[in-house]
Amino acid sequence: MASLSSQISQQRLLEELHSKGIPNGLEEAYSRVLSVALDQVSRDEALQLLSWLVCAKRQLKWREVQGAVAIDLERMSVDFQHRQWVLDSKDLCGSLIHLRSDGSLELVHTTARL
């Protein structure tokens, strides 16, 4: 359950269910828990978010980030329902970013751009 609940989007959840299914026995279940703990599924998404914030010419709003992740350039499709991140910005990047009251994201300090 922890592995499923840690998926960043509904699409990732469905992929996890379809690719691995339900574990057969405790050994397989423990093996999956260990691999999830070591893999950190949301690491790539955190790096993606940070790179957008560093490269953006203006502050991005969280809704703009959610719109961007809904786009799949390889498949030439947009899926707002399944591709949006279910974790918030703090869950992804911790104390490196701040969500302002107007919905915009900012790095906590200008030195974070270096």
Q: Check whether 37 has a pLDDT greater than 50.
A: no
Looking at the fold, whether 33 and 49 belong to one and the same domain comes out as no
Q: How many CB atoms lie within 10 A of CB 45?
A: 19
Q: Check whether 81 has a pLDDT greater than 50.
A: yes
Looking at the fold, whether 49 and 90 belong to one and the same domain comes out as yes
Count of domains observed in the chain: 2
Q: Which domain holds residue 85?
A: 43-113
Q: Check whether 11 has a pLDDT greater than 90.
A: no
Looking at the fold, whether 32 and 47 belong to one and the same domain comes out as no
pLDDT band for position 6 (50/70/90)?
low
Helices (H), the chain: 2-5, 10-20, 25-39, 43-55, 62-69, 80-83, 89-93
Q: Check whether 12 has a pLDDT greater than 60.
A: yes
